[in-house]
């Protein structure tokens, strides 16, 4: 079965003011890009999808993930991975620890091998024992990506994930993230300010107007 | 004409420079003064306890070193029980308070309930230990609120039973009292850390990341938040542990008498008419120091052990440890803690206005203000002392703290780690161990100025809290205001008084209210430094708690709570009032 993330008749309100309405289906490997000015409800849409919408917002509509309605599923059981603007690595754990934290439980040795392999694939060979605070911005972004992917999510949300990287790094990291999304055939929704992100995503683009 | 116009600027410049220098000099000197003020009394006190402990006490005409104090100490009947009681009550109450704090934080992290719990518990902070002990004692006494609410329908008691609480020989009452009192303190310290703008935001985001990765909220707290939070809670925790293992108010009011905790026994020996007991008391003070030090070391070792034991499970990928049930347990526990506190306070208020109150009734049959009237009649001098000591101490503490924080900004580097650790010193060293030595010194230096001695001793305990309370707001002050003012030609002195202090009006008032509350609550320092001649509301309350009528005792405990509360209400209200008038 092909994986998919479906938003049915979503209407998002901030204190009774309609911010956006949306009706979309994203299939595995596709990236839906949402653009719009600050305050247009982009981030709140992502919060609604993960089940962490602040109480000052209200939303109607349904979220379906791989054919299952997850409206009443608590945030931690939704299996939706998120990449934020900041890498948000845990500073009390090593690089490998950060990734192990995200992986399902299992045989310790196999998990370590998997981490080593994954690090190598993104050009971070032998960096497992490093402290995340000592990595460059681009390296941190890659660790955050691995952490998210190895948690085996069923869908991915990107909350302006490249906006803090400089131009060349941005292109490389974006290429890596998008290729991983396509390889894993995961449905993804990206929120961004940057048109080059939207072009690179090569998927459907929705532009939100500022609040009505 | 030209002469005047020339000479005037030169003159002003000279005077500004002179006053600037004076101000800057005072400011730059203040951290050293602060250090001396904290270290000298504590160290001096410790040394003056050390010497008599080894038999050297010129006042008692003992000038040879000997171990007679320790010999007397070891021969004290029940010494092992005293030490065990001190260790057990200190450790168990601290552990309980800490664990419940963590459970509340974990279960209600990012929930609006956390704020509600905070609002309910924060007033407990300003309640002095003695008043809290009196209130808890009333709650669990055989004729207390719990037994009244359960009688006779559940317990079958028609008359007040012969209960074991308070004063039970296992120290359960002490543990209950200490846990209920320290829990709000630890919780608010933790919430204070989480309220730091940058760290708090980072931790909340990381918690969200853990949720996205499939972690149950409570597990996410323990695996992601706690490792970053704990280092910032360590000092407050150690202070709580040190206090709990060596305090006298709680064990005096709630603890057993035969034998009491070590700290209480030491206090009795020191205050005995037989001055030779002071040698034994000094030896006891050293033992107390070892006991508290040992507990602190044990805590730190336990910390290391837990870190090693659980480092693997942080990353083992397990996301759920029965969080659903722990959530339920925490809700029940929190409700229990809050209802315990509320019931004790309600009981206290009812006793203070109770006329005739037969046993199983939950409410008095008559209400009267007689106890308040008669207590207030006798309260004049203790009330004056309490306020005078509190105001003088707090004023001094605020001024010194502000100068130290200003020196930090003038020299553009934070105070050293050493200094910030020393600020905690009076909270970590058991006060019973150094206060007696300090009193010996004070008696050597000047015998008469009891008021001054009490103020100085209170300062040791008020300064740390005032400093901690003011430091964060002072350091958060946007430095650009000072830069703008300086670029407009304002001297550091003027910047301090005209730019910084007005902006810090509200935090200064809060720190002052906190300082007053701490000073109002001091029992042992007042008793010792005042030589028993200076009575405050707190010393009277403790004296009354174990003898006189429950109703009078309740009135004193309520007065103990009302005074700091007034302080805080003023601190919250005054800025609003002033800003309002400024806007109009």
b or e along B197-215 (b: 16 or more beta carbons within 10 Å of the residue's beta carbon)?
eeeeeebeebbbbbbbbbb
- What Rg value do the Cα atoms of chain A yield, rounded? 17
**DSSP for B337-355?**
HHHHHHHHHHHHHHHHHBS
Local structure of B376: helix, strand or coil: helix
Q: How far apart are CA B424 and CA A157, in angstroms?
A: 46
| Chain A residues within 8 A of B215 when measuring between CB atoms | 76
Whole-complex ipTM:
0.89
Q: How far apart are CA B445 and CA B33, in angstroms?
A: 20
Q: How far is CA A152 from CA A149, A156, A184, B39, in A?
A: 6, 10, 9, 57
Q: Report the pLDDT value the prediction gives residue B31, as an integer from 0 to 100.
A: 87
Instruction: Determine the residue of chain B that is closest to A85 in CA distance.
Output: B205
CB proximity list for A136: less than 8 A, separation 6 or greater: none
State the number of CA atoms in the 13 A half-sphere of B248 facing the CB: 26
Q: List the single residue in A55, A76, A80 with the smallest CB-CB distance to B217.
A: A76
According to DSSP, residue A35 is labeled E
Answer yes or no: are the C-beta atoms of B281 and B266 closer than 8 Å.
yes
Q: How far apart are CA B200 and CA B192, in angstroms?
A: 9
Pairing of strands A17-27, A68-69: unpaired
Answer yes or no: are the C-beta atoms of B327 and B107 closer than 8 Å.
yes
Instruction: Determine the residue of chain A that is closest to B227 in CA distance.
Output: A92
Burial of B581 (0-12, 13-18, 19+ CB in 10 A): exposed
Answer yes or no: are the C-beta atoms of A162 and A194 closer than 8 Å.
yes
Segment (H or E) for A63: strand A57-65
A82 contacts B112? CB cut-off 8 A = no
According to DSSP, residue B157 is labeled -
Instruction: Determine the residue of chain A that is closest to B202 in CA distance.
Output: A88
Disruptive mutation site among B111, B214, B224, B323 for chain A (greatest number of A CBs within 10 Å): B214
Instruction: Determine the residue of chain B that is closest to A148 in CA distance.
Output: B213
Local structure of B141: helix, strand or coil: coil
Q: Report the pLDDT value the prediction gives residue A209, as an integer from 0 to 100.
A: 75
The model's pTM is 0.89
Assigned token pair, B281: 């008391």
Instruction: Determine the residue of chain A that is closest to B228 in CA distance.
Output: A92
Assigned token pair, B336: 């229990």
Among the listed residues A203, A158, A151, the one whose alpha carbon sits nearest the alpha carbon of residue A176: A158
- Consecutive sets of 10 residues in chain B, 584 residues long: mean pLDDT of each? 40 46 83 89 89 80 81 90 96 97 94 88 87 92 83 77 80 95 93 87 93 94 96 94 94 90 93 86 93 97 96 90 92 94 92 84 85 88 95 96 89 79 88 86 76 92 92 84 85 86 90 94 91 90 82 92 92 82 52
Burial of B533 (0-12, 13-18, 19+ CB in 10 A): exposed
The residues of B whose Cβ lies within 8 A of any Cβ of A are: 112, 202, 205-206, 208-217, 220, 223-224, 227-228, 312, 314-319
| Chain B residues within 8 A of A76 when measuring between CB atoms | 210-217, 220, 319
Strand pairing partners for B57?
B62
Q: How far apart are CA B298 and CA B310, in angstroms?
A: 18
Strands (E), B353-501: none
Q: How far apart are CA B565 and CA B35, in angstroms?
A: 30
Q: List the single residue in B214, B224, B317 with the smallest CB-CB distance to A76.
A: B214
| Chain B residues within 8 A of A92 when measuring between CB atoms | 227-228, 314
Assigned token pair, B385: 């002392």
B206 contacts A88? CB cut-off 8 A = yes
Interface contact A108, partner B, CB < 8 A: yes
Among the listed residues B57, B80, B81, B61, the one whose alpha carbon sits nearest the alpha carbon of residue B69: B57
For A103-112, what is the mean pLDDT? 92
**DSSP for B469-531?**
HHHHHHHHS-HHHHHHHHHTT--HHHIIIIIIHHHTHHHHHHHHHHHHHHHHH--HHHHHHTT
Assigned token pair, B309: 């034991």
Q: How far apart are CA A167 and CA A163, in angstroms?
A: 9
First-to-last alpha carbon distance for chain A, in angstroms, is 39
Sheet-wide strand order for A205-207: A80-83, A155-159, A188-192, A31-35, A205-207
State the number of CA atoms in the 13 A half-sphere of A67 facing the CB: 3
> How far from chain centre, in Å, is Cα B512?
14
Cβ neighbours of B146 (radius 10 Å): 19
Task: Assign 3-state DSSP to chain B and report helix, strand, coil percentages, each to 5.
Answer: 80, 0, 20
A76 contacts B215? CB cut-off 8 A = yes
Strand pairing partners for A156?
A81, A188
Q: How far apart are CA B403 and CA B420, in angstroms?
A: 15
Answer yes or no: are the C-beta atoms of B492 and B454 closer than 8 Å.
no
Assigned token pair, B64: 């040879």
Q: How far apart are CA B132 and CA B344, in angstroms?
A: 8
Q: How far apart are CA B443 and CA B449, in angstroms?
A: 9
Quote the minimal CA–CA distance from B94 to chain A in Å: 25
Q: How far is CA A192 from CA A56, A210, B178, B203, in A?
A: 23, 14, 53, 24
| Chain A residues within 8 A of B213 when measuring between CB atoms | 76, 81, 101-102, 147-148, 151
Q: How far apart are CA B139 and CA B347, in angstroms?
A: 7
Answer yes or no: are the C-beta atoms of B398 and B511 closer than 8 Å.
yes
First-to-last alpha carbon distance for chain B, in angstroms, is 44
| Chain B residues within 8 A of A111 when measuring between CB atoms | 317
Q: How far apart are CA B32 and CA B400, in angstroms?
A: 11
Instruction: Determine the residue of chain A that is closest to B231 in CA distance.
Output: A92
Interface of A with B in 48-87 (CB under 8 A): 50, 52, 55, 75-77, 79-82, 84, 86
Strand pairing partners for A52?
none
Burial of A16 (0-12, 13-18, 19+ CB in 10 A): exposed
Instruction: Determine the residue of chain A that is closest to B314 in CA distance.
Output: A101
B214 contacts A101? CB cut-off 8 A = no
Give the count of Cβ contacts less than 8 A between chain A and B. 69
State the number of CA atoms in the 13 A half-sphere of A6 facing the CB: 13
A105 contacts B318? CB cut-off 8 A = yes
């Amino acid at each position: 079965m092909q994986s998919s993330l479906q938003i049915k008749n979503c209407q998002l309100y901030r204190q009774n003011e309609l911010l956006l309405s949306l009706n979309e289906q994203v299939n595995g490997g596709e990236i839906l890009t949402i653009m719009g000015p600050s305050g247009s409800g982009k981030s709140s849409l992502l919060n609604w999808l993960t089940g962490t919408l602040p109480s000052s917002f209200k939303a109607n509509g349904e979220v379906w993930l791989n054919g299952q309605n997850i409206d009443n599923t608590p945030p931690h059981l939704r299996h939706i991975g998120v990449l934020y603007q900041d890498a948000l690595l845990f500073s009390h754990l090593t690089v490998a620890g950060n990734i192990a934290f995200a992986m399902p439980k299992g045989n310790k040795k196999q998990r370590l091998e998997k981490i080593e392999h994954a690090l190598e694939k993104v050009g971070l060979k032998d960096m497992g024992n490093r402290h995340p605070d000592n990595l460059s911005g681009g390296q941190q972004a890659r660790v955050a990506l691995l952490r998210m992917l190895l948690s085996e999510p069923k869908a991915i949300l990107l909350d302006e994930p490249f906006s803090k990287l400089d131009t060349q790094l941005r292109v490389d990291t974006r290429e890596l993230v998008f290729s991983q999304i396509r390889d894993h055939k995961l449905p993804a929704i990206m929120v961004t300010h940057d048109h080059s992100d939207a072009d690179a995503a090569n998927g459907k683009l929705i532009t939100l107007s500022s609040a009505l | 004409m030209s002469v005047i116009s020339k000479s005037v600027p030169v003159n002003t410049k000279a005077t500004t420079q002179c006053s600037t220098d004076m101000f800057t000099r005072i400011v730059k000197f203040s951290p050293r003064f602060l250090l001396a003020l904290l270290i000298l009394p504590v160290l001096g006190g410790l040394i003056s306890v050390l010497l008599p402990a080894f038999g050297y006490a010129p006042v008692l005409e003992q000038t040879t070193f000997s171990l007679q104090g320790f010999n007397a100490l070891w021969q004290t009947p029940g010494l092992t029980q005293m030490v065990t009681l001190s260790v057990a009550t200190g450790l168990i109450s601290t552990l309980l308070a800490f664990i419940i704090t963590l459970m509340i934080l974990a279960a209600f992290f990012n929930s609006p309930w956390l704020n509600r719990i905070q609002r309910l518990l924060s007033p407990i902070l300003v309640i002095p230990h003695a008043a809290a002990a009196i209130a808890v004692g009333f709650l669990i006494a055989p004729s207390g609120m719990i037994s009244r609410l359960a009688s006779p329908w559940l317990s079958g008691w028609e008359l007040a039973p012969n209960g074991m609480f308070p004063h039970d020989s296992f120290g359960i009452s002490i543990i209950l009292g200490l846990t209920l009192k320290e829990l709000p303190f630890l919780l608010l310290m933790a919430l204070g850390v989480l309220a730091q703008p940058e760290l708090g935001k980072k931790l909340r985001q990381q918690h969200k990341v853990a949720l996205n990765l499939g972690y149950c909220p409570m597990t996410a707290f323990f695996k992601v938040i706690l490792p970053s939070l704990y280092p910032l809670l360590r000092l407050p925790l150690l202070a709580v542990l040190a206090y709990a293992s060596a305090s006298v108010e709680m064990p005096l009011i709630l603890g057993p008498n035969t034998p009491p905790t070590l700290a209480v026994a030491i206090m009795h020996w020191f205050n005995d008419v037989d001055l030779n007991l002071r040698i034994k008391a000094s030896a006891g003070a050293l033992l107390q120091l070892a006991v508290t030090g040992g507990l602190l070391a044990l805590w730190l070792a336990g910390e290391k052990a837990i870190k090693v034991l659980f480092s693997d499970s942080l990353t083992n990928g397990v996301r759920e440890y029965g969080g659903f049930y722990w959530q339920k347990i925490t809700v029940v526990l929190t409700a229990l803690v809050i209802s315990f506190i509320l019931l004790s306070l309600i009981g206290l208020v009812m006793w203070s206005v109770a006329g005739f109150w037969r046993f199983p009734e939950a409410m008095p049959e008559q209400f009267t203000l007689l106890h308040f009237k008669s207590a207030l009649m006798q309260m004049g001098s203790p009330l004056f002392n309490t306020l005078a000591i509190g105001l003088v101490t707090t004023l001094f503490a605020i001024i010194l703290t502000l100068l130290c924080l200003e020196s930090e900004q003038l020299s553009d580097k934070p105070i050293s780690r050493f200094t910030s650790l020393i600020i905690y010193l009076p909270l970590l060293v058991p006060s019973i161990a150094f206060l007696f030595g300090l009193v010996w010194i004070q008696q050597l230096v000047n015998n008469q100025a009891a008021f001054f001695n009490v103020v100085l001793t209170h300062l040791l305990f008020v300064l740390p809290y005032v400093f901690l309370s003011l430091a964060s707001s002072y350091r958060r002050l946007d430095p650009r205001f000072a830069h703008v003012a300086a670029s407009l030609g304002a001297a550091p002195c003027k910047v301090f008084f005209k730019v910084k202090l007005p902006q810090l009006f509200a935090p200064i008032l809060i720190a002052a209210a906190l300082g007053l509350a701490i000073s109002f609550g001091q029992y042992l320092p007042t008793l010792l430094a005042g030589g028993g001649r200076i009575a405050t509301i707190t010393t009277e309350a403790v004296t009354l708690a174990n003898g006189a009528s429950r109703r009078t005792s309740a009135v004193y405990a309520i007065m103990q709570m009302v005074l700091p509360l007034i302080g805080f209400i003023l601190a919250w209200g005054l800025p609003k009032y002033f800003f309002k008038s400024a806007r109009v």
